[in-house]
Structure 1
Amino acid sequence: MTTTELRVVPRPRQVDQTGESVPFDAPLVINSTGAVPAAVVSLFDELLERETNEPPVRAGDEGTEGVSESPDVRLALEDRPSDAFDDPEGYVIETDGETGTVTIRAETADGLRHGCQTFVTGIAVRDRDGDEEDRWAFPACEIHDWPETSWRGFMLDPARGFLSVEHVKRRIDQAARAKLNRLHLHLLDDEGYALESEAYPELNRDSDGTALPAYSPDDVAELVEYAGDRGIEIVPEVDVPAHATHVLETYPELRCTVEDGEPADRTMCIGSSETVEFVETLLEEVVEVFPFSFDVVHVGGDEWEMHGHSWDECVDCREKMADDGSETVTEHFYAFVRHLHGFLDERGRRTMMWNDQIDISESPDLPRDVLIQFWRVAAPGRGPIEGCSLERFLEEGFDVVNSYVHAAYVRGWISEEYMLGWAPRRRPSVSEERESQVRGGELLAWEPSDEETRRYFERALPSAIPIFADRLWNPTVIDDRETFSRTVARHALGPYVPAEFDVYGELGGLILPTNWKRSGQGPPAHANRALADRSPREAAADYESAIETLSTLRESNETVYPETATAYVDSLEWLREVADREGRGILDRP
């Protein structure tokens, strides 16, 4: 990226550039008005240090002799940041060529955070002569920027593959860097429960009694504070009543009571008081450790038809259905959801759930303030299909978060072409008068339990996160793919990346291959697309050059995420091996 070009992901909505740049010497000098929260200033310090490898200094601080009183960057919290928009997450960046100062102003702390992220991902290395300190520049411009959607989320799945607190923090950083504002933690599934339970401690053990990793209350508090400082709310999910293999193996009394035959082993009985008490207790523990300011709790509710249930044959379920007046198992399920909704509502929390088990072809007996996470209409044998659509949820008065499988499922279904053309209010299609009910979208990183298989997230997420975030932030079409690809490379790797370096061109695409329940490991790059019109020898030489660039950046501590550089080096080394071995650079069968 040159010093006069602004290449930032998500792309700002309104940018007026002069073709010049504002230069800075290292270290950068910042100041702020008294109204700016200390947490925002501290975050800006941290972001600048990570980006430039040197902590900034505060204008006027003691011990800063020789530092100009005129700051390089000024943060300001103002009542009315812009006439171009009216959004609490909006911000304005203005450059002053005479004073050499960049001002970031906003109406809220969230807006200031977003402006800070734009600045740190928009600065460029200006000059590097010998042993001199790095000098920096930001394009001379005026930016008025705000998000298209209010729910810009990202899901992690520690229930299936536990993620350490430090790992989650790194993902929070990557999400905040792309201006996402929700982290959805999928805590309960067939494989285990990732939150310590005082009431049901055996949930945190394997079938042989081995302790399973889980987040303690202190871990949650640490993550909540870390995410909150970056403008991200955490949404916990306790997925019931299906995906319950671990629960039912640990507490078999939560199975259905079937007089003739065996009860289902992956779906809880939802007619018994024991199950209701169990779920309420888990939700109570969740509510206690996650703060009230984060008011959404996800209860799952997906795939019970596919997983199989025993509700038709269960003594307790049949009795409960009679008491509730439920004539079908779907109505029985709705009654269960209504109960959980009431429980959470009494505690000031909003219920969120997956869409696929709701027969939206008819008007369901569910509270309309349930937030629906739409991922697809169910496949045959997996739930209701006929007459079901995202539009029908909107017609029925629900708010929706769009996680459509072909755009949001990192593990297997997403593709570059689809993601770049996707928008949360366009795919699936939404009528114009109901667009406001689509709150936004959420990217989903479903973890496999196998550690080796999970390595693909290190190469897939660094580009998938900012691309998905761009589609939630800026509705305009991405019309210059090559520039956008280089912009994503700078976003993922940092400012020391050479201006014309396009690692995704060498890897064969912005979205790298991911796996979904396939045998063995999938390819770590797009071999045939990476070859393009080059001979295998030419391609191998280019791969080697890209490996050298990334390795140099990593060894010099000039990448914001060394793990990303390592993942891309591994993929490029694989491409080089294929080119050398096959003499073609592609994986055609003989």
Structure 2
Amino acid sequence: MGFGSSCFQMFVSASAGCLRKLLVALTLLTAGLIAILYYGRLEDLQPSFGSNTLRHCAVDNLWTWECEGQHCVRRESRGARTSLATCRMKCGSVPLWPQPTGVTDLASQSIPFRLKVLRLEVRSSYIRRLLQDAFDVFRSNLENLVPSSCPEEASKEHLHDFLVTLEVRSEDRQPLLKLATNESYQLLLQSAGAAKLRAEIRAQSFFGARHGLETLTQLVWWDDTSLRVLTRAHIIDAPRFAHRGVLLDTARNFLPIRSLRAAVDGLAACKLNTLHWHLSDSQSFPFDAQRLPNMARYGAYSSALVYSARDVAELVEYATVRGVRVVVELDAPAHAGNGWQWGPNLSVCVNQQPWSMFCGEPPCGQLNPDSEELYVVLGELYRDLVALTNVTDVFHVGGDELNLQCWARELRGPLTHEELLAKWAKFQKRVLQLLAGAMGGTLPRAVVLWSSQMTRPHYARMYLDPRVYVIQTWGASAWREAPALLQAGFRVILSHLDAWYLDCGFGDWHGGETGACSPVASWQTIYQHRPWTELVPRNLILGGEACLWGEMVDENSLDAKMWPRAAAFSERMWTDPAIDDATLRDAQVRLAVQRERLVARGIAADAMWPQWCDQNPDKCLEPLDTSHA
């Protein structure tokens, strides 16, 4: 009896312990489930910076959008519902960016489809692989439109076959983007029977075909539960200007290759065709040149913050598939300090103080034009860069803001102002000889030089050959440098600091308040700037560049300072639309959609307006002042 009672008590005690453990386990499991649901919901509420992994696919059935007065207006849903994305494609201008310059005939009907029905047909034997790579980018851009948490739905209405045909008439075995490249394309999208769609893109060059794919991307959108595409389109398109670029500066603050790739993705999305890579400056020399390793050893901020030869070559290849040329600039003879001090007499005034006497910002540094060793080094650098970038047409040799006082103090003298300019001219002549040597005896069609004292009419006529040099004019639009150069027969690339400098207006990093230029150029200012209306001869204007200098820009701020303002610049360069109130109102809505496309591709573009305005554009668009345009 005593033994049995003891066993029974032990059994009850053990059961109670097990029960307590079971209850604790159930409590923890319940808490875990609640946490997963709660934090999962929080994750859905987090803002998305380019990753579709945080985008959810819940459909808000409360609202529908109706087209009224060329704008989508939000209404309470009382039956059949139209999403905002679909309304945008049917109401007013279809949000293509940049707008085509030729025929644009688009249907208002659309059909859903799944990515697995996409197929490619190539009608060009020599560049089949390159076109396949461009198609893969096209497909990836469509994938980015689909929220990862939202599987594509299937229905009887879906397309069963979507064939994209690419026909390139040029049989260039190694297509390189040149100033004379024909970037036009024709896009024909039409049905080919029940649940079949055919997109034919015809172009004279690979680059035109790639632009056609970019436009086709913009005829596709995500409509809550599926991708949709217009059922018919006919577009004939070509750019107004041959040179459409953005400058990025990797010397003031290092930008990792992933940031440069993202910049190329944005350029491609907007049909900009040139990444002007300001690779070096007096602050740093981050290029690990194969023939001259001491340049990066002495000039990089650290051994981790360098670009290898492979980095440059791979970025060029990445950009080519996306229709972008990479133009690398080694600024010279000014803006050349750290990195050049390893050799005998290569540079002067490096890190000189007080800096305000010898340069526009610290640290100072300029090349020594009297040093024969310098020209050996420059020649080796040019050979490396020509080989890595496949340059045949455009090469930028720098040439801005030379401080003659530095040379007057450091070089054999005394030297008058005219003698110093003559010495500069001899330096430029040697540069051309070195560049020709690096290119096998020929010069590129355009040797680009920044506007400076050397490019003022008197000295330009004396020292520079307009058949060789293209002048990139960076002064304010009111300055007379561009008209004078055009009248002297020089080709120009326009980069007016008061309209197309993306770094202006954020303050002065070394102590002032306003900075070197101000105010911030809004997208409207950039879009409205149309300087060629009063410039002649117009045919000598190759195009323009928006410049984002790097004193206050690194990988954390690059995207927001660049986009969507660089996109506004792209439509000015591609389409060059007239300026009026209706054009600007239409551009704002289309640009807001383009900004969403950039975000979907992983680019953290800055917001343009409150999100409420995306949903209610009719209530946010006010007439814009065009009196200064």
TM-score by length of 1: 0.70
Task: Name 1:445's counterpart in structure 2.
Answer: 548
Contact in 2 for aligned 1:271/1:318 (Cα 8 Å): no
* Cα distance, 1:19–1:222 mapped onto 2, change above 3 Å: closer
Task: Name 2:215's counterpart in structure 1.
Answer: 118
Task: Name 1:162's counterpart in structure 2.
Answer: 254
The equivalent position to 2:449 in structure 1, one of 353, 356, 362, is: 353
Give yes or no for the alignment of 1:42 onto 2:136. no
Structure 2 CA distance, aligned partners of 1:141 and 1:397? 42
The equivalent position to 1:459 in structure 2, one of 560, 574, 578, is: 560
Structure 1 regions of 5+ residues with no counterpart?
56-65, 81-85, 129-133, 380-384, 496-558, 574-590
Task: Name 2:571's counterpart in structure 1.
Answer: 470
Q: 1:91 offset after TM fit, Å?
A: 0.9
Q: 1:476 offset after TM fit, Å?
A: 1.8
The equivalent position to 2:182 in structure 1, one of 80, 85, 88, is: 88
Task: Name 2:528's counterpart in structure 1.
Answer: 421
Determine helix, strand or coil for the equivalent of 1:253. Answer: coil
Task: Name 1:268's counterpart in structure 2.
Answer: 367
The equivalent position to 1:401 in structure 2, one of 493, 508, 514, is: 493
Task: Name 2:203's counterpart in structure 1.
Answer: 106
- For structure 1, which segment, 175-184 or 369-378, has the greater mean C-alpha deviation from structure 2 after superposition? 369-378
Contact in 1 for aligned 2:281/2:335 (Cα 8 Å): yes
Letter in 1 for 2:143: T
Pairwise mapping of residues 49-198 of structure 1 onto structure 2 (< 5 A)?
Answer: 49-53=140-144, 71-78=162-169, 88-97=182-191, 99=193, 100-126=197-223, 128=225, 134-138=226-230, 140-198=232-290
Determine helix, strand or coil for the equivalent of 2:462. Answer: coil
Task: Name 1:205's counterpart in structure 2.
Answer: 297
Contact in 2 for aligned 1:406/1:418 (Cα 8 Å): no
Letter in 1 for 2:401: E
Letter in 2 for 1:181: N
| Structure 1 vs Structure 2 CA RMSD | 3.5
Contact in 2 for aligned 1:224/1:233 (Cα 8 Å): yes
Q: 1:327 offset after TM fit, Å?
A: 3.9
Structure 1 CA distance, aligned partners of 2:532 and 2:411? 44
Q: 1:466 offset after TM fit, Å?
A: 1.4
Q: 1:474 offset after TM fit, Å?
A: 0.6
Contact in 2 for aligned 1:9/1:467 (Cα 8 Å): no
Task: Name 2:465's counterpart in structure 1.
Answer: 367
Q: 1:73 offset after TM fit, Å?
A: 3.2
Structure 2 CA distance, aligned partners of 1:279 and 1:145? 41
Letter in 1 for 2:524: E
Contact in 2 for aligned 1:240/1:301 (Cα 8 Å): yes
* Cα distance, 1:208–1:87 mapped onto 2, change above 3 Å: closer
Determine helix, strand or coil for the equivalent of 2:600. Answer: coil
Task: Name 2:35's counterpart in structure 1.
Answer: none
Task: Name 1:10's counterpart in structure 2.
Answer: 98
Q: 1:393 offset after TM fit, Å?
A: 1.2
Structure 2 CA distance, aligned partners of 1:313 and 1:219? 39
Contact in 1 for aligned 2:543/2:573 (Cα 8 Å): yes
Task: Name 1:391's counterpart in structure 2.
Answer: 483
Q: 1:139 offset after TM fit, Å?
A: 6.2
Q: 1:486 offset after TM fit, Å?
A: 2.5
Letter in 1 for 2:407: W
Structure 2 regions of 5+ residues with no counterpart?
1-84, 147-156, 172-179, 359-363, 505-517, 612-629
Determine helix, strand or coil for the equivalent of 1:371. Answer: strand
| Same amino acid, percent of matched pairs | 23
Task: Name 2:45's counterpart in structure 1.
Answer: none
Give yes or no for the alignment of 1:20 onto 2:121. no
Task: Name 1:300's counterpart in structure 2.
Answer: 398
Letter in 1 for 2:551: P
* Cα distance, 1:563–1:344 mapped onto 2, change above 3 Å: closer
Letter in 1 for 2:464: L
Structure 1 CA distance, aligned partners of 2:300 and 2:575? 50
Largest Rg, 1 or 2: 2
Pairwise mapping of residues 493-508 of structure 1 onto structure 2 (< 5 A)?
Answer: 493-494=596-597
* Cα distance, 1:315–1:439 mapped onto 2, change above 3 Å: closer
- For structure 1, which segment, 405-414 or 71-80, has the greater mean C-alpha deviation from structure 2 after superposition? 71-80
Letter in 1 for 2:532: R
Task: Name 1:524's counterpart in structure 2.
Answer: none
* Cα distance, 1:313–1:125 mapped onto 2, change above 3 Å: closer
Structure 1 CA distance, aligned partners of 2:167 and 2:500? 35
Determine helix, strand or coil for the equivalent of 1:245. Answer: coil
Listed one character per residue, the Cα deviations across residues 552-578 of structure 1 (whole Å, up to 9, x for unaligned) are xxxxxxx5234526x649x979xxxxx
Listed one character per residue, the Cα deviations across residues 217-245 of structure 1 (whole Å, up to 9, x for unaligned) are 11111111111111211111110111123
Determine helix, strand or coil for the equivalent of 2:246. Answer: strand
* Cα distance, 1:87–1:241 mapped onto 2, change above 3 Å: closer
Give yes or no for the alignment of 1:286 onto 2:385. yes
Task: Name 2:58's counterpart in structure 1.
Answer: none
Give yes or no for the alignment of 1:337 onto 2:442. no
* Cα distance, 1:489–1:398 mapped onto 2, change above 3 Å: same
Give yes or no for the alignment of 1:430 onto 2:535. yes
Q: 1:267 offset after TM fit, Å?
A: 2.3
Task: Name 1:31's counterpart in structure 2.
Answer: 120
Listed one character per residue, the Cα deviations across residues 72-111 of structure 1 (whole Å, up to 9, x for unaligned) are 433333579xxxxx98111112232454333222222111
Contact in 1 for aligned 2:111/2:159 (Cα 8 Å): no
* Cα distance, 1:563–1:143 mapped onto 2, change above 3 Å: closer
Pairwise mapping of residues 210-225 of structure 1 onto structure 2 (< 5 A)?
Answer: 210-211=302-303, 213-225=305-317
Structure 2 CA distance, aligned partners of 1:155 and 1:208? 20
Structure 2 CA distance, aligned partners of 1:179 and 1:443? 14
Q: 1:430 offset after TM fit, Å?
A: 0.8
Contact in 2 for aligned 1:424/1:472 (Cα 8 Å): no
Structure 2 CA distance, aligned partners of 1:268 and 1:31? 52
Task: Name 2:600's counterpart in structure 1.
Answer: 560
Contact in 1 for aligned 2:252/2:550 (Cα 8 Å): yes
Listed one character per residue, the Cα deviations across residues 448-505 of structure 1 (whole Å, up to 9, x for unaligned) are 2674xx644322322122111111111222533333223222222239xxxxxxxxxx
Listed one character per residue, the Cα deviations across residues 19-41 of structure 1 (whole Å, up to 9, x for unaligned) are 52342411242332331633223
* Cα distance, 1:447–1:241 mapped onto 2, change above 3 Å: same
Contact in 1 for aligned 2:425/2:463 (Cα 8 Å): yes
Letter in 1 for 2:333: P
Letter in 2 for 1:110: F
Letter in 1 for 2:396: H
Letter in 2 for 1:373: Q
Determine helix, strand or coil for the equivalent of 1:309. Answer: helix
Matched length? 464
Q: 1:175 offset after TM fit, Å?
A: 0.5
Q: 1:67 offset after TM fit, Å?
A: 10
* Cα distance, 1:390–1:317 mapped onto 2, change above 3 Å: farther
- For structure 1, which segment, 212-221 or 279-288, has the greater mean C-alpha deviation from structure 2 after superposition? 279-288
* Cα distance, 1:208–1:44 mapped onto 2, change above 3 Å: closer
Task: Name 1:226's counterpart in structure 2.
Answer: 318
* Cα distance, 1:165–1:114 mapped onto 2, change above 3 Å: same
Listed one character per residue, the Cα deviations across residues 160-219 of structure 1 (whole Å, up to 9, x for unaligned) are 211222211111111011111111111110211121124443332358995362211111
Determine helix, strand or coil for the equivalent of 1:8. Answer: coil
Q: 1:374 offset after TM fit, Å?
A: 1.0
Letter in 2 for 1:120: T
Contact in 1 for aligned 2:473/2:494 (Cα 8 Å): yes
